[in-house]
Amino acid sequence: MKQRATINASVTPKGSLEILSQMEVEKLKKVGENGLYALFRQCALAILNTGSDSDNAKTIIEAYPDFEIEIVQQDRGIRLNLHNAPANAFVDGEMIASSREMLFSAMRDIVYSETEKRLKGNDLASGAGLTDHVFHLLRNAKVFLPRKNPNLIVCWGGHSISEEEYEYTKEVGHSMGLRELDICTGCGPGAMKGPMKGATIAHAKQRYHRSRFLGLTEPGIIAAEAPNPIVNELVILPDIEKRLEAFVRIGHGLVIFPGGAGTAEELLYLLGILLDPENRTLPFPLVLTGPRSSEPYFQQLHEFINATLGFEAQQKYKIVIDDPEQVARLMLQGTHAVTEARCQRNDAFYFNWSLRIEEDFQLPFEPTHENMAALELKQNMPPHRLAANLRRAFSGIVSGNVKDSGIRAIEKHGPYEIHGDKAIMHQLDLLLAAFVKQRRMKLPGSTYIPCYKLVK
pLDDT digits (tens, 9 = 90+) for 134-191: 999 999 999 999 989 999 999 999 988 999 999 999 999 999 999 999 999 999 999 9
> Mean pLDDT: which of 106-110, 124-128, 288-292 is highest?
288-292
> What per-residue confidence (pLDDT) applies to 175?
98
Give the residue, 394 or 55, on which the prediction is more confident: 394
What Cα–Cα distance (Å) separates residue 322 from each residue in 189, 298, 319, 343? 21, 12, 10, 34
Percent of the chain's residues with pLDDT above 90: 67
Q: Which tops the pLDDT comparison, 442 or 178?
A: 178
Q: How far apart are the first and last CA of the chain?
A: 37
298, 319 Cβ separation under 8 angstroms: yes
Note the pLDDT of residue 139: 95
SS (H, E, C) the chain: CCCCCEEEEEECCCCCCCCCCHHHHHHHCCCCCCCHHHHHHHHHHHHHCCCCCCCCHHHHHHHCCCCEEEEEEECCEEEEEEEEEEHHHEECCEECHHHHHHHHHHHHHHHHHHHHHHCCCCCCCCHHHHHHHHHHHHHHCCCCCCCCCCCEEEEECCCCCCHHHHHHHHHHHHHHHHCCCEEEECCCCHHHCHHHHHHHHHHHHCCCCCCCEEEEECHHHHCCCCCCCCCCEEEECCCHHHHHHHHHHHCCEEEECCCCHHHHHHHHHHHHHHCCHHHCCCCCCEEEEECHHHHHHHHHHHHHHHHHCCHHHHCCCEEEECCHHHHHHHHHHHHHHHHHHHHHHCCCCCCCCCCCCCHHHCCCCCCCHHHHHCCCCCCCCCHHHHHHHHHHHHHHHHHHHHCHHHHHHHHHHCCEEEECCHHHHHHHHHHHHHHHHCCCCCCCCCCCCCCEEEEC
Q: Give CA–CA dist 366/370, Å, rounded.
A: 10
* pLDDT above 70 coverage of the chain, percent: 92
Residue 1 has pLDDT above 50, yes or no: no
Q: Are 339 and 149 in contact (CB under 8 A)?
A: yes
Distance CA(269)–CA(248), nearest Å, equals 10
- Gap between the Cα atoms of 73 and 71, Å rounded: 7
* pLDDT of the residue at 149: 94
Res. 115: pLDDT tops 70: yes
Question: Which class for 446: exposed (0-12), middle (13-18), buried (19 or more C-beta within 10 A)?
Answer: middle
Q: What is the pLDDT of residue 394?
A: 94
DSSP bridge pairs for 217: 236
What domains can you pick out in the chain, each with its CATH number?
A: 6-120 (3.30.1850.10), 134-456 (3.40.50.450)
**CA 107 to chain CA centroid, nearest Å:** 18
pLDDT digit string, tens, across residues 316-342: 999 999 999 999 999 999 999 999 999
pLDDT at 107 over 70: yes
Give the mean pLDDT of 27-32.
62
Phi first, then psi: what are they for 399, rounded to 5°? -60, -45
Question: What is the per-residue pLDDT across 426-436, written as a single tens digit (0 to 9) for each?
Answer: 999 999 999 88
Is the pLDDT reported for residue 61 higher than 80? Answer: no
Mean pLDDT of 233-239: 95
Q: What does the pLDDT read at residue 58?
A: 58
Report pLDDT for 18. 53
